Amino acid sequence: MPADLNLRLGLPGSDQTDVDAAKSNKRASPEKAEDTASNGVPAAKSADDHETAPAPKAQIVGWPPVKSYRKSTAAAVKKAEAESGMYVKVSMDGAPYLRKIDIKLYNGYSHLLTALEDMFKLSIEREGYKGSEYAPAYEDKDGDLMLVGDVPWEMFMSSCKRLRIMRGADARGLGCAQ
Amino acid sequence: MCMFQSVMNYFPEEVLDHVFDFLTSHRDRNAVSLVCKSWYSVERFSREKVFIGNCYAVNPERLIDRFPRLRSLSLKGKPHFADFNLVPHDWGGRVYPWIEAMAKSRINLEELRLKRMVVSDESLELLAKSFPNFKSLVLVSCEGFTTDGLAAIASNCKFLRELDLQENEVDDRKGHWLSCFPESCTSLVSLNFACLKGEVNVAALERLVARCRNLRSLRLNHTVPLEVLQKILVQAPQLNDLGTGSFTHDPNSETYVKLKNAMKNCHSIRSLSGFLDVNGRCLPAVYPICTSLTALNLSYAPGLFSNELAKLIYHCKKIERLWILDTIGDKGLGVVANTCKELQELRVFPSDLYGVGNAAVTEEGLVAISAGCPKLNSILYFCQQMTNAALITVAKNCPNFIRFRLCTLNPVVPDAATNQPLDEGFGAIVQSCKGLTRLSVSGQLTDQVFLYIGMYAEQLEMLSIAFAGDSDKGMLYVLNGCKKLKKLEIRDSPFGNMALLSDMGKYETMRSLWMSSCQVTLGACKTLAEKMPRLNVEIISENEGGAGEGEARLDDRDRVEKMYLYRTLVGPRTDAPDFVWTL
């Protein structure tokens, strides 16, 4: 039987070919073995079991041994962070439709710009605007069009309402002072 | 009768009483009470503090009968594996009967410390109303109460000094429990409500802090914003233990500047925690405090980058206890190793609880710490991988471990370099650390590791085993070798009846044994229960169906899913739910 048809204790990517059957702890009542998500370690099963590949997130109850209080606090934080995303629209000159990103996910300008480059498959000016590439601009709380990068990141996060990736030529007027 | 005994009997009881006053440790007092009848008698009337490690080992009546002058009680309820959802809800551990009995007997209770117990609002209300001198309530990993119960405590306990809630699951009714502290309450020394989820009345909080001039320890919850923290610190610069609430703000704002100044003025803070919601760029405000910190808990601080953590730790040269998330990375642990030469206890918790392999610490971080921190004696380390070589190095560097808990995120991962089991690594730890009292093992392990543990871990009191071993021999090595073993907890390991029944008397020398998903059968458990009447052998069913259903299904040859046994003076408990069957 091909090794990857066995459910085993290893996480995907680990070389767990030598986990004993003894360690897989076949359960007393075989009909419970399917309920791997809540009941325990998935036992080594036969090939005609409905699960033909190890579930990437096969959860073992109580492992890693972290207090449920700690787990629920972490989950609550993750949830809060996810819910309170700061989504802003991103437009690119010439593109037919806009995108939306959560600026909370980025830890700084360079991280943001790299993500935008990835998203739009272009390259963004970082220093000075020679007019040949794209320049990142944003619309702030007052509705003004500003060049990205002048203010501290925190301030940018709270004042940015919308991002606009301008074609270099149009952005020359926004060139930064020094 | 020897000369010594007659000399000691010559002393009047008051003298013995006075002498015993100097004995503070429970173990010493327990030892003293076993010397002779008169010492037992003097000791029991003079004991004010009692610690009960398993609430079902005795009952309230026996406690009160033996120690009528009881003032301070510590109780522990559920088995340790309840922390990891292995014990069904409603298993037991209710504190109400204890409070009720003490109230009826007019015990002058002043302190109550509970761990892993079920505490209802009724219990808290009864507690608050029954003991006029009540001073200190510490609840750790408890559940079953709401903020209404806290309101009762706040309203009624006139001399309350300490209300310390650590990691409890509290139903927050978003009431005004904090406002229930009357204006006349000025006695608070310690207030910890970090685990509460709901908002508190911040004006009431500020006033409370302002009038409690003896306040030394304050831990806020995540709803208390930074602006309020700043105002509190101005009112209470004498604090020596602070738990921040939310720690995010615009670092360019005036509030943040005021906070920085307030913190500079807090010369006594030695312990810092919280950061339940944190913006890394606000961390510099705490740098002035860092230089005198001895304890730092950042393990609940989400989303701090490794370099931010490292920068903070760089200032913490006196730290003795550090709790942190694995986002610190091996590199960050290197900074700890170079900076924190006074470090005694380190806990590295996993940040990625649901995913796969985003953990940032490996054996390298552990080795670095062991090399850099000569005073290290206690570690809890969750890591992606481990090697025998690393553990052997750690053992050589740190022979002073008293607690060593290693948790590999994959419970059966072998040595990352050699693919061998981790037997030799843990073997080195137990051989080198002669004072080891607590050990948790993980990773791929055979019976060999238990041979080492049985052979070398002479002081071991608590051992946690998961997914380890090959046969009964493993468990036998431990039971035969570890003479001081008090608590043994085993899950998902192939230990069975032969090991369980080989030395039944051993269990009376221990507090408890937990075995789940092992190979013990119902028949063996029945045999054990029959032969050892002073043990409660509990079979806990997975399904919370009736005991009748459970009993009918199981045959003596069937494996038992969860067994918990413990020594007791009072027989099977009367409050066991349906799914718990005491044999």
Written as one string, the DSSP assignment of B59-109 is: -HHHHHHH-TT--EEEEE-S-GGGGGT-S-TT---BSHHHHHHHHHTT---
Partner A contacted by B168 (CB < 8 A): yes
Question: Cα-Cα-Cα-Cα dihedral of B113, B119, B121, B124, to 10°?
Answer: -20
Pick from A10, A19, A64: CB nearest B350: A64
Q: Say if B542 is an interface residue toward chain A (CB within 8 Å).
A: yes
Q: Is A31 on the interface with B (CB under 8 A)?
A: no
Query: A81: left (phi > 0), else alpha (psi -120 to 50), else beta?
Result: alpha
Q: What is the 3-state secondary structure (H, E, C) of B399-421?
A: CCCCEEEEEECCCCCCCCCCCCC
What's the token pair of residue B96?
A: 């109400």
The answer to whether B555 faces chain A, any CB pair under 8 Å, is no
Instruction: Say which residues have a Cβ less than 8 Å from residue B357's Cβ, sequence separation at least 6.
Output: A11, A13, B384, B409
For residue A57, the model assigns a pLDDT of 44
With contact defined as beta carbons under 8 Å apart, do A69 and B195 qualify?
yes
Q: Between B397 and A21, where is the model more confident?
A: B397
Cβ atoms of residues B499 and B475 within 8 Å: yes
Query: Looking at the partner chain, which of B168, B302, B494 has a beta carbon nearest the beta carbon of A22?
Result: B494
pLDDT at A176: 46
Q: How would DSSP label each residue in B131-199?
A: -TT--EEEEES-EEEEHHHHHHHHHH-TT--EEEEES-EEE-----GGGGS-TT----SEEE-TT--S-
- Helix (H), strand (E) counts: chain A: 5, 5
Contact present, A73 and B300 (Cβ < 8 Å): yes
**Rounded to 5 degrees, what are φ and ψ at B280?**
-55, -30
Task: Round to whole Å and give the CA distance between B390 and A2.
Answer: 34
Asked if B467 lies within 8 A of A22 by C-beta distance, the reply is no
In whole angstroms, give the CA distance from residue B360 to residue B381.
12
Q: Taking CB atoms and an 8 Å cutoff, what residues of chain A touch B470?
A: 20, 22
> Cα separation of B33 and B44, whole Å?
8
Please spell the DSSP secondary structure of A20-89, one letter per residue: -TGGG---SSGGGTT-HHHHSPPPP--TTSS--S--TT-PPTT-S---HHHHHHHHHHHHHHHHT--EEE
pLDDT tier at A30 (50, 70, 90 boundaries)?
A: very low
Cβ neighbours of residue B521 closer than 8 Å, sequence gap 6 or more: B496, B497, B556, B557, B558, B559, B560
Q: Are A138 and A164 in contact (CB under 8 A)?
A: yes
Across chain A, mean pLDDT equals: 67
In a mutagenesis test of the B interface, which of A8, A68, A105 is the best target, namely the one with the most B β-carbons within 10 Å? A68
Q: How far is CA B461 from CA B437, B464, B483, in A?
A: 5, 10, 9
First to last CA, chain B: 45
User: What confidence tens digit (pLDDT) does each residue in B227-238 have?
Assistant: 999 999 999 999
Contact B353 A74 (CB under 8 A): yes
- Residue B43: phi, psi to the nearest 5? -60, -45
Please, which residues have CB within 8 angstroms of residue B185's CB and are 6 or more apart in sequence?
Answer: B154, B158, B160, B208, B211, B212
d(CA B546, CA B47): 42
DSSP B487: E
Express each pLDDT in B294-348 by its tens digit. 999 999 987 787 888 889 999 999 999 999 999 889 999 999 999 999 999 999 9
Distance from CA of B423 to the nearest CA of A (A): 15
A130 CA: distance to closest CA in chain B (Å): 32
Residues in chain A: 178
Q: What is the pLDDT along chain B (583 residues), one digit of tens a residue?
A: 455 555 556 678 888 888 888 988 898 999 999 999 889 998 999 999 999 999 999 999 999 999 999 999 999 999 999 999 999 989 999 999 999 999 999 999 999 999 999 999 999 999 999 999 999 999 999 999 999 999 999 999 999 999 999 999 999 887 789 999 999 999 999 999 999 999 999 999 999 999 999 999 999 999 999 999 999 999 999 999 999 988 988 888 899 999 999 999 999 999 999 998 888 888 999 999 999 999 999 999 877 878 888 899 999 999 999 999 998 899 999 999 999 999 999 999 998 766 544 557 999 999 999 999 999 999 999 999 999 999 999 999 999 999 999 999 999 999 999 999 999 999 999 999 999 999 999 999 999 999 999 999 999 999 999 999 999 999 999 999 999 999 999 999 999 999 999 999 999 999 999 999 999 999 999 999 999 999 999 999 876 544 445 555 678 999 999 999 999 999 999 999 988 999 8
Which residues in chain B have their CB less than 8 angstroms from residue A30's CB?
Answer: none
Cβ–Cβ < 8 Å for A88, A163: yes
Query: Measuring CA to CA, which residue among B393, B396, B395, B390 is closest to residue B408?
Result: B390
Q: How close, in Å, is residue B57 to chain A by CA atoms?
A: 25
Helix or strand run (H / E) with residue B501: helix B497-501
Q: Which of A104-118, A123-137, B165-179, B298-312 has the highest mean pLDDT?
A: B165-179
ipTM of the complex: 0.86
Nearest Cβ partner of B356 from A11, A20, A154? Answer: A11
Q: In this model, does residue A102 exceed pLDDT 60?
A: yes
**Which of A41, A81, A155 is closest, CB to CB, to B252?**
A155
CA distance A43 to chain B (A): 11
Give the span between the Cα atoms of A160 and A106, in whole angstroms. Answer: 13
Q: Does B356 touch chain A (CB under 8 A)?
A: yes
Specify the pLDDT at position A109.
87
Q: B378 with B346: CB under 8 angstroms?
A: yes
